[in-house]
Amino acid sequence: MKKVTHSVKVGSVRRVSIASHPNEYEFTSEIEPNSNHQSTKNQLFDRRISKSAVPQPEVHKKKYISTLETPKNVRLQYITDATNDNQHHSKISSPPSPSLSSHPQQYMTTAQEHTTTINKLHQIPTMSKWSTRKKVLVGISASLIIATIITVPIALGILLTKSKESTSTTATTASTVNVSAYWSFDNTAVDSYGVYNGQLINSPSYASSSSVPYVGHGQALNFNSASSQSVLVSTPFFNLSYTSFTIEAWIYYSTSTSDRGIFGQCQCSTCANQCLYLIMRNNRLYVDFISNYLSGSTAISTTYWYHIAFVYNYETRQQILYLNGVQDAIKSSAQPYQGQNGSINIGSARAYSTTYYYQSYIDNVALTTRAKSSVEILRDASLMAYYSFDSPNPTVDNGPNGLDGTSNNIVTTSGRVNEAMRFLGSSSSYFRANGFYQMPYGVVNAKPFSMAMWINPSSITNIAIIQMFTSTISSSSCDTLLGISSSNSLTGQLVVYSASSLRLTGPFVTQNTWTHISLTYSSGNGYTLYVNGVLFGSTGIVSYWTSGTFANLCISYSTSCSTSSVNGYYQGYIDELYIYNRELSQTDVTSLANP
């Protein structure tokens, strides 16, 4: 059997209205000619379709019946198998139907053809209606697809252009994301943030807190320059190029005529602005980006801890060196550091063809990609400890050194600022913190210090507020630094003791009332007392102890100081305790007294 395929093109359907006119739907058909009589058959076909396309209500009413095989073949592009050409043509173009009359049954051969014909008549208007909707939907879909095809490349082009512009300006725009790292060197070289972890090179050693004379907490890293020791942070890359950044560290210096490397990162040791090194040169701080340097003005002594900081401000194009929180040198119009790769070295730094190594201790190295303010630098350098006494961790040190305290039988309650500690006035109710090298007996090696707090005493009868013990706590190694003295149990005055001697007698304090107290010391002014932010008086120059041990700071501790008559256990509230390694100014005191 030969399979014959004829392609049929269906004409368009135009729906004019919903009127019941029998010629409401017009069909046009274009059928490829298969014989000499094709045009005649097409005319008959058009007329037959027009007559049969009666709206559905009329079909049901009049029940017109016709054997329309050809429309089915035309609509569905029917493909059939034919044994010969004559048979095929008979299916495509059936004999013309006579005009509709009142006797339609004469054209009906079977009941099945009757049902089929009615169904097909029903399909004609339905197919026409669906085709119109379909065309609208297809048109809308096509429009959306075309719009998408046009819009997407344009949008991608804009995004790619912006991406390229952003990439091209990375080297000249300061980063808005702050990245930080902190190496405590408390028996580890791991970054406290867990990202920029260090590796010990040639085994620098961790010194115990008992041998490091600044704070008795954790360890510090001891470098031997002869052994080329350092800490290497090789991955991931810490990008300091074309941005602001701050480097901070505590160093214990050993005098040397040689350069000593503290911190470095280098891409090209001979290329301008591509090699960063922070070193000690001629016993002074010195920083350079290669041909872009700044030298400190203050000579550093041995056997002391110093807080050092270097700030590069990308916005102002300034290099600034700080020593113990105070600006030591500044340079304007300084081009930014431009190194795009290179490892971080702590305890060593490369300058041109030479690598310089540090000698002695380095501790608490901090790095961040922003320019810290002078206020922040001063706080980092001078705040030894800060206890807010707030829940949920009332004994935690909120300062930079982590000198967390311990407490026993105290109550956290509403305070002057947020929450406070309430002491019960017994030997079992106390607070204690260890590690204050500046204050074993108030003063060590003429170094300044300050403390400030809020007190609200429930009792004013010869009580000790702040006690200082050496590392070994005993009644003989103790001073009542600050207390309340009373001769009649009705009124009490603030007193300051040092080296077993009464140094200063202050004003009377009011029971069950919040009072702000600030006490400072320096070798030139001695002890100075402030009450509620107002200067009360100073002692002038006083002697000091030279012990190098770490101090314990206690409030209402169970061990009394044998050299002081003010030994009662404190009863009442204490809040916002600050301890500094510098002498506070009047401005500082006023600020603390007015939170």
Task: Copy the structure tokens of residue 2.
Answer: 């030969």
User: Which among 72-86, 196-210, 435-449 has the top mean pLDDT?
Assistant: 196-210
What pLDDT is stored for residue 546 in this prediction?
Answer: 58
pLDDT tens sequence across 78-130: 333 434 444 433 333 333 433 333 333 333 344 444 444 444 434 444 444 44
Taking each helix axis from N to C end, the angle separating 69-76 and 85-92, rounded to the nearest 10 degrees, works out to 90
The arithmetic mean of pLDDT across residues 273-299, rounded, is 96
Tell me which amino acid residue 253 is.
Y
What pLDDT is stored for residue 552 in this prediction?
Answer: 86
Q: Which residues contact 259 (CB under 8 A, 6 or more apart)?
A: 279, 280, 281, 286, 351, 356
* 3-state SS string for 514-554: CEEEEEEEECCCEEEEEECCEEEEECCCCCCECCCCCEEEE
What pLDDT is stored for residue 88 in this prediction?
Answer: 38
Task: Give yes or no for residue 7 having a pLDDT over 50.
Answer: no
Tell me if 233 sits within 8 A of 344, measured CB to CB: yes
The arithmetic mean of pLDDT across residues 236-240, rounded, is 97
pLDDT tens sequence across 548-570: 667 889 998 878 787 777 888 99
Band of pLDDT at residue 131, cut at 50, 70 and 90: low
User: Which among 166-170, 397-401, 587-591 has the top mean pLDDT?
Assistant: 587-591
Residue extent(s) of CATH 2.60.120.200 domains in the chain:
180-372, 382-593
Burial (CB count within 10 angstroms: exposed 0-12, middle 13-18, buried 19+), residue 46: middle
Tell me which amino acid residue 373 is.
S
Task: Give yes or no for residue 199 having a pLDDT over 60.
Answer: yes
To the nearest whole percent, how much of the chain has pLDDT over 70? 67
Task: Give yes or no for residue 590 having a pLDDT over 90.
Answer: yes
Determine the Cα–Cα distance for residues 230 and 350; give it in Å rounded to an integer: 12
What pLDDT is stored for residue 209 in this prediction?
Answer: 58
What pLDDT is stored for residue 78 in this prediction?
Answer: 37
Task: Give yes or no for residue 269 having a pLDDT over 60.
Answer: yes
What pLDDT is stored for residue 153 in this prediction?
Answer: 55
Task: Give yes or no for residue 280 having a pLDDT over 60.
Answer: yes
Determine the Cα–Cα distance for residues 293 and 310; give it in Å rounded to an integer: 12
Determine the Cα–Cα distance for residues 247 and 294; give it in Å rounded to an integer: 14
pLDDT tens sequence across 26-43: 333 343 444 444 444 444
Q: Which residue has the higher pLDDT, 147 or 307?
A: 307
Domain over 180-372 is classified CATH 2.60.120.200: yes
What pLDDT is stored for residue 157 in this prediction?
Answer: 55
To the nearest whole percent, how much of the chain has pLDDT over 90? 51
Q: Which residues contact 388 (CB under 8 A, 6 or more apart)?
A: 394, 398, 417, 418, 419, 575, 576
Task: Give yes or no for residue 186 having a pLDDT over 70.
Answer: yes
What pLDDT is stored for residue 233 in this prediction?
Answer: 98
What pLDDT is stored for residue 89 in this prediction?
Answer: 37
What pLDDT is stored for residue 124 in this prediction?
Answer: 40
Determine the Cα–Cα distance for residues 498 and 482; give it in Å rounded to an integer: 9
Range of weakest confidence among 74-78, 455-459, 484-488, 590-594: 74-78
Range of weakest confidence among 130-144, 350-364, 527-541: 130-144
What pLDDT is stored for residue 221 in this prediction?
Answer: 93
CATH second-level architecture of 382-593? Answer: Sandwich (2.60)
What pLDDT is stored for residue 61 in this prediction?
Answer: 38
Tell me if 31 sits within 8 A of 74, measured CB to CB: yes
Phi/psi at 355 (nearest 5 deg)?
-105, 125
What pLDDT is stored for residue 141 in this prediction?
Answer: 67
Q: Which residues contact 517 (CB under 8 A, 6 or more apart)?
A: 452, 453, 454, 455, 482, 494, 529, 530, 531
Mean of pLDDT over the chain? 77
What pLDDT is stored for residue 154 in this prediction?
Answer: 60
